[in-house]
Amino acid sequence: MSKLTVIPLIYHDDLITNYHALADLPGFVLLESADSRLGRYDIVSAYPYDNLKVPHGSVDLNEAFNKLERLLPPAQPGSDLPFQGGGIGYIAYEVGAKLAGIESISHPVLSDMPLIDVSFYDWAIITDHKTRTVSLMAANHCSETALLVNEIRQRWCNRGVAKHSFALSKAFAPLIKWPEYQHAFETIHHDLTQGRAYQVNYTQPFVAQYQGDPWRMYQQVRNKNRVPFSAFLRLDSADVLSFSPERFLLMDDSQLLTSPIKGSIKRSENPADDQRLKKTLLSSSKNRAENIMIVDLLRNDLGKIALTGSVNVQSLCELQSFSGVHHLVSHIAAQCREEFTPLQAFAACFPGGSITGAPKQEAMRIISEHEPFARGIYCGSIGYFSSHGRFDSNLAIRTVVARENTLYLAAGGGIVIDSNCEDEYAECYTKIKAILSEL
């Protein structure tokens, strides 16, 4: 069996220039806890040795998950690193929708992008912000890895200087107009009053035109908008930039953790006003009720795969503050039963309840009736699946797809029976303000 090796590298408070030195490599991926208060690890890699792409159309998605599991390399003992070789990539929202028998039409910009795009890596640089250490991990399943490690070490030590440019050539514009949003809101609200669902997460897409390298855009936005589950993926089909504050699901040694966000309010540059806004959010019965609905949904999702009695709400409606928005966040933990593999655990909870509504499948049906386009990566998940059974994943909100000089972005919020249409519409813009303001 090949032997996993770990080489220490120098830790810096801000490693983005180190990551920049690798950003032009094929298959470059970065999973970054840019807000290291709420996150812990960065994982960066390139030069994948294999890839799994699952196209739209008639596919067996359960078999796709099984194939993804089979492609993971054998686990190796002797390391506590979170990633020890394995898959990094995305799983689109429509995977969950298709598993529920729900179909939708992709926007032309996204129409030929895979439902699942996961590449497999034999090495990675892993930053632990808690211990302030950086490790170059080589699983050594591939004969080329030793040569790659030498190149990577040289690039890391040289650190990269940002030479790439990026600029919008046409500003973001919504793909649905206010009257269309208003009509959808009213119809969804009617469904809620008729008891069809308790909450529906309705979203709207935006597009812009750009010139330059999206990696430069990622650098610009993350420098001012630090979030714990950001990501940059350099894929064959597109570049994906995620500035997500939300964890979808973590599995570590059979322990599961999900941290839904539900409940938001804008921030103010005036400290006194910002403090008032915090108190307003914390005391909002509407936002608290929305959060608790999703907590109950996720407790039920975890209960399908958890040991009896192990599902536990660790924290309820905790305040977390980011660049442009305050959020309410809850944390639900459980212990996975032995008969479920990591990928089965992931699939059992996918997609995240905070971006569907409750009950999940009926909310997803309502979403498909009113949203004009399939969501794609947005509201799906970006993360890693390590060979030793650990995985961690974000909920791909605040996520931009860049391809063919077009940027595709979406935003939304949970509609409940006492929601106000103007407030919900404004919340969409609040959530993407931190991205738009840096461009």
For the stretch 178-233, pLDDT in tens is 999 999 999 999 999 999 999 999 999 999 999 999 999 999 999 999 999 999 99
pLDDT of residue 78 exceeding 80, the answer is no
Q: What are phi and psi of 86, to 5 degrees?
A: 150, -150
Instruction: Summarize the confidence of residues 361-384 as an average pLDDT.
Output: 97
Region 80-106: what's the mean pLDDT? Answer: 95
- Residues above pLDDT 70, as percent of the chain: 99
The CA distances from residue 50 to 179, 241, 385, in Å, are: 46, 22, 14
Q: Which of 98, 262, 360, 431 is catalytic?
A: 262
* Catalytic residue selected from 32, 94, 98, 246: 246
Burial class (CB in 10 A: 0-12, 13-18, 19+), 5: middle
Query: What does the pLDDT average to over 284-300?
Result: 95
The domain locations on the chain are: 5-436
Cα-based distances in Å from 145 to 138, 189, 263, 368, 385: 7, 55, 45, 44, 19
Q: What is the pLDDT of residue 6?
A: 95
Q: What is the rounded average pLDDT of the residues 321-344?
A: 95
pLDDT at 159: 73
The pLDDT of residue 84:
96
- CATH code for the domain defined by 5-436: 3.60.120.10
Average confidence (pLDDT) over 142-167: 86
Least confident of 145-149, 161-165, 294-298: 161-165
pLDDT of residue 116: 96
φ, ψ at 132 (rounded to 5°): 55, 50
Q: With 80 as the cut, is the pLDDT of residue 57 above it?
A: no
The pLDDT tens digits of the residues spanning 3-35 come to 899 999 999 888 999 999 999 999 999 999 999
170 catalytic? Reply is no
Residue 4's nearest CA partner among 85, 121, 82 is: 85
On the question of pLDDT at 266 being above 70, the answer is yes
pLDDT at res. 363: 97
User: Has 98 been annotated as catalytic?
Assistant: no
Retrieve residue 8's tokens: 């220490």
Look up residue 125 and give its two tokens: 């640089």
* Distance, CA of 269 to CA of 290 (rounded, Å): 27
Mean pLDDT estimate for the chain:
94
| pLDDT attached to residue 323 | 87
Q: What is the pTM of this model?
A: 0.96
- What span, in angstroms and rounded, lies between the C-alpha atoms of 229 and 233? 13
**pLDDT interval class at 302 (50, 70, 90):** very high
> Rounded CA gap, 409 and 400, in Å?
5
Residues 6+ apart with CB under 8 A from 221: 241, 243, 434, 435, 438, 439
Model confidence band, residue 102 (pLDDT cutoffs 50, 70, 90): very high
The reported pLDDT for the residue numbered 160 is 63
Q: Confidence class of residue 58 from pLDDT cuts 50, 70 and 90?
A: low
Q: Are 202 and 415 in contact (CB under 8 A)?
A: yes
pLDDT of residue 1: 57
Q: Which residues pair with 33 in a beta bridge?
A: none
Helices (H) and strands (E) in the chain, counts: 11, 22
Average pLDDT over residues 119-130: 97
Q: Of all helices (H) and strands (E), which one includes residue 265?
A: strand 261-266
Question: Does residue 363 contact residue 96 with C-beta atoms inside 8 Å?
Answer: no
User: With pLDDT > 90 as the criterion, what percentage of the chain qualifies?
Assistant: 89
Which strand (E) or helix (H) includes residue 59? none
pLDDT on residue 60: 83
